[in-house]
Amino acid sequence: MEKMNTMKPLFPHLPKRLAGLEDLAENLWWSWNPGARMLFKTLDRQAWKESGHNPDKMLREFPRELLEKAGVDEDYIRRYDHVMEVFHNYMQPKERHLPVTVSRGHEFVVAYFSAEYGLHRSLPFYAGGLGFLAGDYIKECSDLSVPLVAVGFMYPEGYLRQQIRDDGWQENLVESINREAAPISKVLDKDGRQCIVTVPLTDPPIHVAVWKVAVGRVSLYLMDTDVKINAFGDRGISARLYIGDLEQRLRQEIVLGIGGAEMLKTLGIEHYLLHLNEGHAAFALLELIRRHIQMGSEFDLACEKIINYTIFTTHTPVPAGHDVFPFALIEKYFHSYWPILGLDRHAFFQLGIHPEKPDAGFNMTAFALRLSGSRNGVSKRHAAVSRKMWQSLWPEVPEDQVPIDHVTNGVHVPTWIEPKIKLLLDKYIGADWLDNHDDPAIWQLIDNIPDTELWQTHQWLKVKLIDAIRERTRQRWVSGDASDSLILTGGAFLEPSVLTLGFARRFATYKRALLIFQNLERLAKYFKDRWRPIQIIFAGKAHPADDPGKRLLQNLIKLARNPQFGGRIAFVEDYGEQLGQYLVHGVDIWLNTPLPPLEACGTSGMKAALNGVPHLSILDGWWEEGFNGKNGWAVEHDPSSVNPDGSDAEKIYRILEDEIIPLYYKTAENGVPHDWVKAMKATMQSNAARFSARRMVKEYRDKFYLKGMHRKT
Ligand SMILES: *Cc1c(COP(=O)(O)O)cnc(C)c1O
What pLDDT band is residue 323 in, cutting at 50, 70 and 90? very high
Return the higher-pLDDT residue of 399 and 7.
399
> How many other CB atoms are found less than 10 A from the CB of residue 448?
12
Mean pLDDT computed over 657-662: 98
* Centre of ligand 1 from the C-alpha of residue 692, in Å: 15
Residue 331 has pLDDT above 60, yes or no: yes
For residue 98, what pLDDT band results from cuts at 50, 70 and 90? confident
Return the pLDDT at 552: 96
Give me the residue spans of the domains in the chain: 2-91, 103-409+697-712, 413-691
Lowest mean pLDDT among 87-96, 367-376, 493-502, 620-629: 87-96
Query: Which atom of ligand 1 is nearest the CA belonging to 504?
Result: 9
pLDDT of residue 2: 41
Parallel/antiparallel/unpaired status of strands 185-186 and 207-215: antiparallel
Q: Is omega for the bond preceding 597 within 30 degrees of 0, making it cis? A: yes
Judged by average pLDDT, the poorest of 177-181, 578-582, 662-666 is: 177-181
Q: Average per-residue pLDDT in the chain?
A: 94
| pLDDT for residue 5 is more than 50 | no
Q: How many CA atoms lie within 13 A of 614 on its CB side?
A: 24
Q: Whose CA is nearest to atom 11 of ligand 1?
A: 128
- % of the chain beyond a pLDDT of 70: 97
Average pLDDT over residues 380-408: 97
Alpha-carbon gap, residue 192 to 374, rounded angstroms: 40
Q: How far apart, in whole angstroms, are the C-alpha atoms of residue 684 and residue 351?
A: 45
Nearest 5°: the CA angle 438, 439, 443 is 100
CA-based torsion, 225, 341, 3, 83: positive or negative: positive
CA of 169 to the centre of ligand 1 (A): 22
Output the pLDDT for position 93: 82
Q: What's the pLDDT at 405? A: 98
> Which pLDDT score, from 0 to 100, does residue 712 have?
46
Identify the CATH number of the domain defined by range 103-409+697-712. 3.40.50.2000
Which residues line the pocket of ligand 1, CB cutoff 6 A?
128-129, 132, 505, 575-577, 580, 602-605, 607
pLDDT for the residue 244:
82
Residue 422 amino acid letter? K
Structural contact between residues 289 and 341, judged by C-beta atoms closer than 8 angstroms:
yes
The answer, yes or no, to whether residue 434 has pLDDT greater than 80, is yes
Answer whether 103-409+697-712 and 413-691 agree in fold: yes
Q: Residue 108 has what pLDDT?
A: 86
pTM, full prediction: 0.96
pLDDT digits (tens, 9 = 90+) for 248-293: 999 999 999 999 999 999 999 999 999 999 999 999 999 999 999 9
pLDDT classification of 74: cutoffs 50, 70, 90: very high
What is the rounded distance in angstroms from the CA atom of residue 541 to the CA atom of residue 128? 9
Helix (H) or strand (E) run with residue 210 in it: strand 207-215
Mutual angle of helices 451-479 and 577-586, in 10-degree steps? 140
401 CA to middle of ligand 1, Å? 31
Query: pLDDT tier at 11 (50, 70, 90 boundaries)?
Result: confident
What residue's CA is closest to ligand 1, atom 8? 602
Q: Which residue has the higher pLDDT, 138 or 710?
A: 138
Residue among 382, 503, 603 to mutate when testing ligand 1 (max atoms within 8 A of CB): 603
Q: What spacing in Å lies between the alpha carbon of 220 and ligand 1's midpoint?
A: 21
Q: Output the CA–CA distances (angstroms, integers) from residue 398 to 314, 316, 394, in the order listed.
A: 20, 22, 8
Q: How many angstroms from the chain centroid is the CA of residue 571?
A: 22
CA of 406 to the centre of ligand 1 (A): 20
| Closest C-alpha residue for ligand 1 atom 4 | 129
Ligand 1 mean position, distance from CA 605 (Å): 9
Q: Could you read off the pLDDT of 561-596 as tens digits, one per residue?
A: 999 999 999 999 999 999 999 999 999 999 999 999
pLDDT of 185-195, one tens digit each? 999 999 999 99
Instruction: Please count the CA atoms within 13 angstroms of the CA of 164 that sit on its side-chain side.
Output: 34
Assign 412 a pLDDT band (cuts: 50, 70, 90). very high
Using pLDDT thresholds of 50, 70 and 90, give the confidence band for residue 175: confident
How much is the average pLDDT of 111-120? 97
Nearest to 575 by CA among 129, 14, 201, 221: 129
* CA-581 nearest atom, ligand 1: 15
Q: Which residues contact 347 (CB under 8 A, 6 or more apart)?
A: 338
Distance CA 117, CA 133 (A): 8
CB 167 within 8 A of CB 311: no
Q: Mean per-residue pLDDT for 107-128?
A: 93
User: For the CA atoms of the chain, what is the radius of gyration?
Assistant: 26
Residue by residue, DSSP assigns 477-540 as HHHT-S-HHHHIIIIIT--TTSEEEEEES---GGG-TTGGGSSHHHHHHHHH-SSS-EEEEEE-
In this structure, whether the domain defined by 413-691 belongs to CATH 3.40.50.2000 is answered with yes
